[in-house]
Structure 1
Amino acid sequence: MDEFDEFLDEYDDRADRLVGARYQDFGRAVRRFLQLLEEAPEPSASRLKWLRSLFPLERVQSEVMVEPSGMVGSGQLDWPDDNETALSAQLNLLASFADNDNEALQVARGYFYSRSNNVNDTLHEMTGHLFEPMIRDIRRYLSRNRDKPLDPGLAPASDRIVRIDHNRPEYVETVAAIEDAENAAVASNEIDPEERDRIKFELNAGIILLKAQSVRQSAIEAVLVRALKWLAENFAGAALGVVADQALQAVLKLLGSS
Protein backbone atom coordinates (compact mmCIF):
# COMPACT_ATOMS: atom_id res chain seq x y z
CA MET A 1 0.00 0.00 0.00
CA ASP A 2 1.56 3.31 -1.11
CA GLU A 3 1.19 6.70 0.57
CA PHE A 4 -1.88 7.71 -1.41
CA ASP A 5 -3.68 4.44 -0.68
CA GLU A 6 -2.93 4.91 3.02
CA PHE A 7 -4.37 8.40 2.78
CA LEU A 8 -7.55 7.07 1.16
CA ASP A 9 -7.88 4.43 3.88
CA GLU A 10 -7.75 7.13 6.56
CA TYR A 11 -9.99 9.36 4.41
CA ASP A 12 -12.71 6.72 4.37
CA ASP A 13 -12.54 6.28 8.13
CA ARG A 14 -12.76 9.98 8.93
CA ALA A 15 -15.48 10.47 6.31
CA ASP A 16 -17.59 7.74 7.95
CA ARG A 17 -17.10 9.36 11.35
CA LEU A 18 -18.12 12.75 9.95
CA VAL A 19 -21.26 11.48 8.24
CA GLY A 20 -22.34 9.58 11.34
CA ALA A 21 -21.36 12.25 13.88
CA ARG A 22 -23.89 13.42 16.43
CA TYR A 23 -24.41 17.11 17.18
CA GLN A 24 -22.05 17.03 20.17
CA ASP A 25 -19.21 15.56 18.09
CA PHE A 26 -19.86 17.17 14.72
CA GLY A 27 -17.38 20.06 15.00
CA ARG A 28 -14.57 17.72 16.04
CA ALA A 29 -15.37 15.33 13.20
CA VAL A 30 -15.25 18.22 10.71
CA ARG A 31 -11.92 19.44 12.08
CA ARG A 32 -10.36 15.96 11.88
CA PHE A 33 -11.57 15.49 8.31
CA LEU A 34 -10.19 18.89 7.22
CA GLN A 35 -6.92 18.22 9.01
CA LEU A 36 -6.50 15.02 7.02
CA LEU A 37 -7.04 16.92 3.76
CA GLU A 38 -4.25 19.31 4.75
CA GLU A 39 -1.96 16.33 5.34
CA ALA A 40 -2.72 14.68 1.98
CA PRO A 41 0.30 13.54 -0.06
CA GLU A 42 1.33 15.56 -3.10
CA PRO A 43 0.03 16.39 -5.60
CA SER A 44 -3.31 16.01 -3.78
CA ALA A 45 -2.45 18.55 -1.08
CA SER A 46 -1.73 21.32 -3.60
CA ARG A 47 -4.81 20.42 -5.61
CA LEU A 48 -7.02 20.59 -2.51
CA LYS A 49 -5.57 23.95 -1.52
CA TRP A 50 -6.30 25.28 -5.00
CA LEU A 51 -9.77 23.76 -4.93
CA ARG A 52 -10.60 25.53 -1.66
CA SER A 53 -9.63 28.87 -3.23
CA LEU A 54 -12.07 28.63 -6.14
CA PHE A 55 -15.30 29.55 -4.34
CA PRO A 56 -14.75 31.15 -0.90
CA LEU A 57 -17.34 31.11 1.86
CA GLU A 58 -18.37 34.74 1.22
CA ARG A 59 -19.55 33.76 -2.25
CA VAL A 60 -21.32 30.67 -0.92
CA GLN A 61 -23.27 32.87 1.48
CA SER A 62 -24.13 35.48 -1.13
CA GLU A 63 -24.58 33.42 -4.30
CA VAL A 64 -25.53 29.90 -3.23
CA MET A 65 -27.62 30.20 -0.07
CA VAL A 66 -31.16 31.44 -0.72
CA GLU A 67 -32.56 32.45 2.66
CA PRO A 68 -35.30 30.25 4.19
CA SER A 69 -38.81 31.71 4.17
CA GLY A 70 -39.30 30.89 7.83
CA MET A 71 -40.41 27.28 7.44
CA VAL A 72 -38.03 24.50 8.41
CA GLY A 73 -36.05 23.33 5.39
CA SER A 74 -37.42 26.05 3.10
CA GLY A 75 -34.03 27.49 2.11
CA GLN A 76 -32.48 26.69 -1.25
CA LEU A 77 -28.87 25.93 -2.15
CA ASP A 78 -28.03 26.95 -5.72
CA TRP A 79 -24.69 25.20 -6.27
CA PRO A 80 -22.50 26.04 -9.29
CA ASP A 81 -22.80 23.67 -12.25
CA ASP A 82 -19.06 23.18 -12.64
CA ASN A 83 -17.86 20.19 -10.60
CA GLU A 84 -14.67 21.74 -9.19
CA THR A 85 -16.41 25.00 -8.31
CA ALA A 86 -19.28 23.17 -6.62
CA LEU A 87 -16.86 21.02 -4.60
CA SER A 88 -15.01 24.16 -3.54
CA ALA A 89 -18.24 25.82 -2.38
CA GLN A 90 -19.41 22.74 -0.47
CA LEU A 91 -16.04 22.15 1.15
CA ASN A 92 -15.83 25.76 2.31
CA LEU A 93 -19.34 25.57 3.76
CA LEU A 94 -18.33 22.44 5.67
CA ALA A 95 -15.19 24.20 6.94
CA SER A 96 -17.33 27.01 8.35
CA PHE A 97 -18.82 24.48 10.81
CA ALA A 98 -15.45 23.40 12.22
CA ASP A 99 -15.60 25.72 15.23
CA ASN A 100 -19.32 26.39 15.39
CA ASP A 101 -21.62 23.43 15.99
CA ASN A 102 -24.63 25.71 16.27
CA GLU A 103 -23.99 27.15 12.80
CA ALA A 104 -24.14 23.64 11.33
CA LEU A 105 -27.46 23.01 13.07
CA GLN A 106 -28.91 26.32 11.90
CA VAL A 107 -28.01 25.58 8.28
CA ALA A 108 -29.40 22.05 8.60
CA ARG A 109 -32.70 23.40 9.96
CA GLY A 110 -32.91 26.12 7.35
CA TYR A 111 -32.10 24.08 4.26
CA PHE A 112 -32.92 20.43 5.02
CA TYR A 113 -36.33 19.15 6.09
CA SER A 114 -36.60 16.54 8.81
CA ARG A 115 -39.85 15.15 10.18
CA SER A 116 -38.19 14.83 13.56
CA ASN A 117 -37.33 17.69 15.88
CA ASN A 118 -34.34 15.74 17.15
CA VAL A 119 -31.14 17.75 16.53
CA ASN A 120 -29.21 14.68 15.42
CA ASP A 121 -31.88 13.69 12.90
CA THR A 122 -31.85 17.22 11.51
CA LEU A 123 -28.06 17.23 11.26
CA HIS A 124 -28.03 13.84 9.56
CA GLU A 125 -30.46 15.10 6.91
CA MET A 126 -27.80 17.64 5.92
CA THR A 127 -24.82 15.29 6.10
CA GLY A 128 -26.66 12.53 4.24
CA HIS A 129 -27.99 14.70 1.43
CA LEU A 130 -25.11 17.15 1.01
CA PHE A 131 -21.82 16.19 2.59
CA GLU A 132 -21.87 12.43 2.08
CA PRO A 133 -22.18 12.86 -1.73
CA MET A 134 -19.57 15.65 -1.60
CA ILE A 135 -17.13 13.37 0.23
CA ARG A 136 -17.57 10.67 -2.41
CA ASP A 137 -17.09 13.24 -5.19
CA ILE A 138 -13.87 14.55 -3.62
CA ARG A 139 -12.55 11.00 -3.24
CA ARG A 140 -13.18 10.29 -6.94
CA TYR A 141 -11.69 13.65 -7.90
CA LEU A 142 -8.49 12.99 -5.95
CA SER A 143 -8.21 9.43 -7.29
CA ARG A 144 -8.52 10.61 -10.89
CA ASN A 145 -5.81 13.21 -10.29
CA ARG A 146 -3.52 11.25 -7.96
CA ASP A 147 -0.59 11.39 -10.40
CA LYS A 148 -1.40 14.72 -12.02
CA PRO A 149 0.53 17.65 -10.53
CA LEU A 150 -1.39 20.91 -10.45
CA ASP A 151 -0.72 23.12 -13.46
CA PRO A 152 1.80 25.77 -12.29
CA GLY A 153 -0.27 28.34 -14.17
CA LEU A 154 -3.23 27.75 -11.89
CA ALA A 155 -2.79 30.29 -9.11
CA PRO A 156 -5.24 30.30 -6.21
CA ALA A 157 -8.43 32.09 -7.21
CA SER A 158 -7.90 34.62 -4.43
CA ASP A 159 -4.64 35.65 -6.12
CA ARG A 160 -6.09 36.06 -9.57
CA ILE A 161 -5.93 39.38 -11.37
CA VAL A 162 -9.35 40.94 -11.93
CA ARG A 163 -9.77 43.27 -14.90
CA ILE A 164 -11.95 46.27 -14.09
CA ASP A 165 -14.10 47.80 -16.84
CA HIS A 166 -14.89 51.29 -15.57
CA ASN A 167 -17.51 51.80 -18.26
CA ARG A 168 -19.75 49.00 -17.07
CA PRO A 169 -22.89 49.98 -15.12
CA GLU A 170 -21.98 47.35 -12.50
CA TYR A 171 -18.75 49.19 -11.71
CA VAL A 172 -20.52 52.54 -11.24
CA GLU A 173 -23.20 50.92 -9.08
CA THR A 174 -20.58 49.15 -6.95
CA VAL A 175 -18.59 52.32 -6.23
CA ALA A 176 -21.81 54.19 -5.39
CA ALA A 177 -22.84 51.39 -2.99
CA ILE A 178 -19.45 51.52 -1.25
CA GLU A 179 -19.70 55.29 -0.91
CA ASP A 180 -23.19 54.91 0.60
CA ALA A 181 -21.80 52.43 3.14
CA GLU A 182 -18.92 54.76 3.97
CA ASN A 183 -21.26 57.72 4.47
CA ALA A 184 -23.53 55.64 6.70
CA ALA A 185 -20.57 54.45 8.77
CA VAL A 186 -19.17 57.96 9.22
CA ALA A 187 -22.59 59.26 10.28
CA SER A 188 -23.26 56.41 12.72
CA ASN A 189 -22.97 57.03 16.45
CA GLU A 190 -23.03 53.31 17.14
CA ILE A 191 -19.45 52.74 15.97
CA ASP A 192 -16.51 53.38 18.24
CA PRO A 193 -14.63 56.45 16.87
CA GLU A 194 -11.45 54.42 16.36
CA GLU A 195 -13.34 51.70 14.47
CA ARG A 196 -15.18 54.34 12.43
CA ASP A 197 -11.89 55.91 11.37
CA ARG A 198 -10.46 52.53 10.38
CA ILE A 199 -13.54 51.56 8.37
CA LYS A 200 -13.56 54.91 6.56
CA PHE A 201 -9.98 54.51 5.37
CA GLU A 202 -10.43 50.83 4.45
CA LEU A 203 -13.46 51.64 2.29
CA ASN A 204 -11.58 54.55 0.73
CA ALA A 205 -8.67 52.22 -0.01
CA GLY A 206 -11.07 49.75 -1.61
CA ILE A 207 -12.46 52.41 -3.94
CA ILE A 208 -8.92 53.42 -4.91
CA LEU A 209 -8.08 49.78 -5.71
CA LEU A 210 -11.15 49.54 -7.95
CA LYS A 211 -10.01 52.61 -9.91
CA ALA A 212 -7.10 50.61 -11.34
CA GLN A 213 -7.40 48.84 -14.68
CA SER A 214 -6.72 45.57 -12.89
CA VAL A 215 -6.51 44.53 -9.26
CA ARG A 216 -5.46 41.46 -7.33
CA GLN A 217 -8.56 39.78 -5.90
CA SER A 218 -6.79 39.01 -2.62
CA ALA A 219 -6.21 42.74 -2.08
CA ILE A 220 -9.91 43.52 -2.53
CA GLU A 221 -10.88 40.70 -0.20
CA ALA A 222 -8.35 41.70 2.48
CA VAL A 223 -9.41 45.34 2.61
CA LEU A 224 -12.79 46.04 1.06
CA VAL A 225 -14.67 42.77 1.47
CA ARG A 226 -13.50 42.34 5.06
CA ALA A 227 -14.54 45.89 6.04
CA LEU A 228 -17.99 45.58 4.46
CA LYS A 229 -18.54 42.14 5.95
CA TRP A 230 -17.64 43.49 9.41
CA LEU A 231 -20.21 46.27 9.05
CA ALA A 232 -22.90 43.94 7.68
CA GLU A 233 -22.44 41.41 10.48
CA ASN A 234 -22.03 43.82 13.40
CA PHE A 235 -24.95 46.04 12.38
CA ALA A 236 -27.27 43.42 10.89
CA GLY A 237 -30.85 44.65 10.89
CA ALA A 238 -29.85 48.30 11.20
CA ALA A 239 -29.73 50.72 8.27
CA LEU A 240 -25.93 50.67 8.33
CA GLY A 241 -25.87 46.88 8.12
CA VAL A 242 -28.28 46.91 5.19
CA VAL A 243 -26.28 49.35 3.06
CA ALA A 244 -23.03 47.56 3.96
CA ASP A 245 -24.48 44.22 2.85
CA GLN A 246 -25.75 45.77 -0.38
CA ALA A 247 -22.25 47.10 -1.08
CA LEU A 248 -20.73 43.72 -0.18
CA GLN A 249 -22.97 41.88 -2.63
CA ALA A 250 -22.18 44.43 -5.33
CA VAL A 251 -18.42 43.95 -4.82
CA LEU A 252 -18.69 40.16 -4.87
CA LYS A 253 -20.80 40.28 -8.02
CA LEU A 254 -18.27 42.60 -9.70
CA LEU A 255 -15.38 40.28 -8.81
CA GLY A 256 -17.26 37.22 -9.98
CA SER A 257 -18.23 38.66 -13.33
CA SER A 258 -14.97 40.44 -14.21
Structure 2
Amino acid sequence: MTAAVLALWSREIRVFVRDRARVVGVLAQPVLFWVVFGFGFADSVSVPGSDAGYLQYLLPGMVALTVLFTAIYSTLSVVEDRQSGVLQAVLVAPQPRSALVLGIVLGGVTLAVGQAALIGAFAPLVGFRPGLGGAAVALVAGVLLAVTFCAFGFVMAWRLKSGRAYHAVMNVVLIPVWLLSGAFFPEAGASEAVAFAMRLNPATYGVGLLRYGLGGLPASIPGTSLSFGTCLIVSVAVAALAFAWAAGTARRTP
Protein backbone atom coordinates (compact mmCIF):
# COMPACT_ATOMS: atom_id res chain seq x y z
CA MET A 1 0.00 0.00 0.00
CA THR A 2 2.85 2.39 0.84
CA ALA A 3 4.39 1.99 -2.61
CA ALA A 4 1.04 2.74 -4.27
CA VAL A 5 0.52 5.86 -2.16
CA LEU A 6 4.03 7.13 -2.92
CA ALA A 7 3.58 6.46 -6.63
CA LEU A 8 0.31 8.40 -6.75
CA TRP A 9 1.75 11.20 -4.64
CA SER A 10 4.85 11.60 -6.83
CA ARG A 11 2.72 11.53 -9.98
CA GLU A 12 0.62 14.44 -8.71
CA ILE A 13 3.78 16.46 -8.05
CA ARG A 14 5.31 15.68 -11.46
CA VAL A 15 2.16 16.56 -13.36
CA PHE A 16 1.91 19.90 -11.57
CA VAL A 17 5.55 20.89 -11.96
CA ARG A 18 5.49 20.16 -15.70
CA ASP A 19 2.56 22.52 -16.20
CA ARG A 20 4.32 25.89 -15.88
CA ALA A 21 1.23 27.94 -16.72
CA ARG A 22 -0.63 26.31 -13.84
CA VAL A 23 2.23 27.02 -11.43
CA VAL A 24 2.37 30.70 -12.41
CA GLY A 25 -1.41 31.09 -12.32
CA VAL A 26 -1.86 29.57 -8.88
CA LEU A 27 0.80 31.83 -7.38
CA ALA A 28 -0.01 35.02 -9.29
CA GLN A 29 -3.75 35.09 -8.59
CA PRO A 30 -3.61 35.37 -4.76
CA VAL A 31 -0.79 37.93 -4.91
CA LEU A 32 -2.73 40.02 -7.43
CA PHE A 33 -5.92 39.80 -5.35
CA TRP A 34 -4.01 40.71 -2.20
CA VAL A 35 -2.44 43.81 -3.73
CA VAL A 36 -5.55 45.02 -5.57
CA PHE A 37 -8.05 44.37 -2.78
CA GLY A 38 -5.63 45.28 0.00
CA PHE A 39 -4.89 48.72 -1.39
CA GLY A 40 -8.32 49.18 -3.01
CA PHE A 41 -10.28 48.59 0.22
CA ALA A 42 -7.62 49.91 2.61
CA ASP A 43 -9.70 52.97 3.55
CA SER A 44 -13.09 51.26 3.25
CA VAL A 45 -12.79 48.18 5.48
CA SER A 46 -11.87 48.36 9.16
CA VAL A 47 -11.21 45.43 11.44
CA PRO A 48 -13.09 45.77 14.75
CA GLY A 49 -10.82 45.49 17.77
CA SER A 50 -7.62 45.92 15.81
CA ASP A 51 -5.41 48.65 14.43
CA ALA A 52 -4.16 46.34 11.68
CA GLY A 53 -4.47 47.58 8.12
CA TYR A 54 -6.53 45.74 5.58
CA LEU A 55 -3.43 44.41 3.82
CA GLN A 56 -2.47 42.61 7.01
CA TYR A 57 -5.99 41.33 7.62
CA LEU A 58 -6.30 40.06 4.05
CA LEU A 59 -3.00 38.14 3.87
CA PRO A 60 -4.20 35.01 5.76
CA GLY A 61 -7.21 35.03 3.46
CA MET A 62 -4.93 34.95 0.44
CA VAL A 63 -2.99 32.07 1.97
CA ALA A 64 -6.30 30.25 2.45
CA LEU A 65 -7.33 31.06 -1.13
CA THR A 66 -4.11 29.47 -2.41
CA VAL A 67 -4.75 26.36 -0.36
CA LEU A 68 -8.37 26.07 -1.47
CA PHE A 69 -7.75 26.59 -5.19
CA THR A 70 -4.75 24.28 -5.33
CA ALA A 71 -6.40 21.57 -3.25
CA ILE A 72 -9.63 21.63 -5.22
CA TYR A 73 -8.12 21.70 -8.69
CA SER A 74 -5.45 19.12 -7.95
CA THR A 75 -8.25 16.55 -7.81
CA LEU A 76 -9.34 17.44 -11.33
CA SER A 77 -6.81 14.76 -12.29
CA VAL A 78 -9.36 12.15 -11.16
CA VAL A 79 -11.73 13.24 -13.95
CA GLU A 80 -8.91 13.39 -16.49
CA ASP A 81 -7.57 9.98 -15.46
CA ARG A 82 -11.00 8.41 -15.81
CA GLN A 83 -11.36 9.80 -19.33
CA SER A 84 -7.89 8.60 -20.35
CA GLY A 85 -8.30 5.14 -18.81
CA VAL A 86 -5.57 5.58 -16.19
CA LEU A 87 -8.07 5.47 -13.32
CA GLN A 88 -9.46 2.13 -14.46
CA ALA A 89 -5.95 0.68 -14.50
CA VAL A 90 -5.34 1.91 -10.96
CA LEU A 91 -8.64 0.48 -9.73
CA VAL A 92 -7.88 -3.04 -10.92
CA ALA A 93 -4.49 -3.07 -9.17
CA PRO A 94 -4.30 -5.23 -6.02
CA GLN A 95 -4.37 -2.25 -3.68
CA PRO A 96 -7.13 -0.97 -1.37
CA ARG A 97 -9.14 1.98 -2.66
CA SER A 98 -8.00 3.96 0.37
CA ALA A 99 -4.47 3.98 -1.10
CA LEU A 100 -5.84 5.80 -4.15
CA VAL A 101 -7.52 8.44 -1.98
CA LEU A 102 -4.50 8.85 0.29
CA GLY A 103 -2.05 9.22 -2.60
CA ILE A 104 -4.14 11.82 -4.40
CA VAL A 105 -4.93 13.75 -1.21
CA LEU A 106 -1.29 13.76 -0.10
CA GLY A 107 -0.24 15.05 -3.51
CA GLY A 108 -2.80 17.85 -3.34
CA VAL A 109 -1.87 18.73 0.24
CA THR A 110 1.83 18.93 -0.66
CA LEU A 111 1.14 21.25 -3.58
CA ALA A 112 -1.37 23.40 -1.69
CA VAL A 113 0.75 23.88 1.43
CA GLY A 114 3.94 24.44 -0.55
CA GLN A 115 2.40 27.22 -2.62
CA ALA A 116 0.58 28.73 0.36
CA ALA A 117 3.92 28.96 2.17
CA LEU A 118 5.24 31.14 -0.65
CA ILE A 119 2.31 33.53 -0.21
CA GLY A 120 2.75 33.42 3.57
CA ALA A 121 6.35 34.53 3.13
CA PHE A 122 4.97 38.05 2.61
CA ALA A 123 3.84 38.09 6.27
CA PRO A 124 6.80 40.15 7.62
CA LEU A 125 6.06 42.86 5.03
CA VAL A 126 2.75 43.67 6.76
CA GLY A 127 3.94 43.32 10.34
CA PHE A 128 3.33 39.64 11.12
CA ARG A 129 5.98 38.01 13.33
CA PRO A 130 4.69 34.47 13.85
CA GLY A 131 7.83 32.88 15.29
CA LEU A 132 8.36 29.12 15.27
CA GLY A 133 5.22 28.34 17.24
CA GLY A 134 3.03 30.52 15.07
CA ALA A 135 4.55 29.15 11.87
CA ALA A 136 3.85 25.60 13.09
CA VAL A 137 0.21 26.49 13.79
CA ALA A 138 -0.11 28.12 10.36
CA LEU A 139 1.36 24.98 8.78
CA VAL A 140 -1.12 22.76 10.61
CA ALA A 141 -3.96 25.04 9.53
CA GLY A 142 -2.85 24.84 5.91
CA VAL A 143 -2.61 21.05 6.04
CA LEU A 144 -6.06 20.68 7.59
CA LEU A 145 -7.65 23.02 5.05
CA ALA A 146 -5.89 21.22 2.20
CA VAL A 147 -6.98 17.76 3.41
CA THR A 148 -10.58 18.96 3.73
CA PHE A 149 -10.81 20.41 0.25
CA CYS A 150 -8.70 17.77 -1.49
CA ALA A 151 -11.04 15.16 -0.07
CA PHE A 152 -14.11 17.17 -1.05
CA GLY A 153 -12.69 17.69 -4.54
CA PHE A 154 -12.05 13.95 -4.83
CA VAL A 155 -15.68 13.20 -3.97
CA MET A 156 -16.95 15.64 -6.61
CA ALA A 157 -14.47 14.44 -9.24
CA TRP A 158 -15.46 10.82 -8.58
CA ARG A 159 -19.11 11.61 -9.25
CA LEU A 160 -18.91 14.11 -12.11
CA LYS A 161 -18.43 12.96 -15.69
CA SER A 162 -16.42 15.78 -17.26
CA GLY A 163 -13.88 18.46 -16.50
CA ARG A 164 -16.38 21.14 -17.50
CA ALA A 165 -18.92 19.91 -14.98
CA TYR A 166 -16.21 19.76 -12.31
CA HIS A 167 -15.10 23.35 -12.99
CA ALA A 168 -18.70 24.58 -12.94
CA VAL A 169 -19.54 22.91 -9.63
CA MET A 170 -16.27 23.90 -7.97
CA ASN A 171 -16.61 27.56 -8.98
CA VAL A 172 -20.13 27.66 -7.53
CA VAL A 173 -18.89 26.11 -4.27
CA LEU A 174 -15.39 27.52 -3.86
CA ILE A 175 -15.95 31.28 -4.17
CA PRO A 176 -18.80 31.49 -1.61
CA VAL A 177 -16.90 29.21 0.77
CA TRP A 178 -13.86 31.49 0.58
CA LEU A 179 -15.83 34.75 0.82
CA LEU A 180 -17.79 33.50 3.85
CA SER A 181 -14.74 32.18 5.69
CA GLY A 182 -13.64 35.48 7.20
CA ALA A 183 -10.84 35.63 4.64
CA PHE A 184 -12.18 38.70 2.85
CA PHE A 185 -14.11 40.53 5.58
CA PRO A 186 -14.49 40.00 9.33
CA GLU A 187 -17.50 38.42 10.95
CA ALA A 188 -17.87 41.35 13.33
CA GLY A 189 -19.95 43.97 11.58
CA ALA A 190 -21.60 41.52 9.16
CA SER A 191 -25.36 41.00 9.20
CA GLU A 192 -26.75 38.28 11.44
CA ALA A 193 -27.53 36.02 8.47
CA VAL A 194 -24.03 36.38 7.00
CA ALA A 195 -22.38 35.90 10.41
CA PHE A 196 -24.45 32.73 10.92
CA ALA A 197 -23.42 31.42 7.48
CA MET A 198 -19.78 32.13 8.35
CA ARG A 199 -20.07 30.08 11.54
CA LEU A 200 -21.53 27.17 9.57
CA ASN A 201 -18.71 27.34 7.02
CA PRO A 202 -15.95 24.83 7.92
CA ALA A 203 -13.35 26.98 6.14
CA THR A 204 -13.97 29.75 8.70
CA TYR A 205 -12.21 27.73 11.37
CA GLY A 206 -9.24 26.92 9.15
CA VAL A 207 -8.83 30.57 8.25
CA GLY A 208 -9.13 31.46 11.93
CA LEU A 209 -6.36 28.98 12.75
CA LEU A 210 -4.22 30.57 10.03
CA ARG A 211 -4.75 33.97 11.63
CA TYR A 212 -3.68 32.65 15.01
CA GLY A 213 -0.55 31.18 13.48
CA LEU A 214 0.54 34.11 11.34
CA GLY A 215 -0.25 36.53 14.16
CA GLY A 216 2.06 34.69 16.55
CA LEU A 217 -0.73 33.09 18.61
CA PRO A 218 -2.45 36.20 19.99
CA ALA A 219 -5.16 35.89 22.63
CA SER A 220 -7.92 36.45 20.06
CA ILE A 221 -8.45 36.93 16.36
CA PRO A 222 -9.37 40.49 15.30
CA GLY A 223 -12.92 40.67 14.01
CA THR A 224 -14.22 37.42 15.52
CA SER A 225 -14.83 35.74 18.88
CA LEU A 226 -13.56 32.31 17.78
CA SER A 227 -11.09 30.77 20.19
CA PHE A 228 -7.91 28.94 19.22
CA GLY A 229 -9.23 25.68 20.64
CA THR A 230 -12.50 25.93 18.72
CA CYS A 231 -10.69 26.61 15.44
CA LEU A 232 -8.33 23.67 15.97
CA ILE A 233 -10.94 21.13 17.07
CA VAL A 234 -13.40 21.96 14.29
CA SER A 235 -10.66 21.98 11.64
CA VAL A 236 -9.37 18.55 12.70
CA ALA A 237 -12.88 17.09 12.85
CA VAL A 238 -13.88 18.45 9.44
CA ALA A 239 -10.66 17.21 7.80
CA ALA A 240 -11.18 13.73 9.27
CA LEU A 241 -14.83 13.59 8.15
CA ALA A 242 -13.95 14.82 4.66
CA PHE A 243 -11.25 12.18 4.25
CA ALA A 244 -13.60 9.45 5.51
CA TRP A 245 -16.21 10.65 2.99
CA ALA A 246 -13.66 10.46 0.16
CA ALA A 247 -12.52 6.98 1.23
CA GLY A 248 -16.11 5.77 1.36
CA THR A 249 -16.85 7.29 -2.06
CA ALA A 250 -13.83 5.53 -3.61
CA ARG A 251 -15.31 2.13 -2.72
CA ARG A 252 -18.09 2.75 -5.24
CA THR A 253 -17.79 2.36 -8.98
CA PRO A 254 -16.89 5.77 -10.48
TM-score (norm 2): 0.28
Q: Which structure is larger by alpha-carbon Rg, 1 or 2? A: 1
TM-score relative to the length of structure 1: 0.28
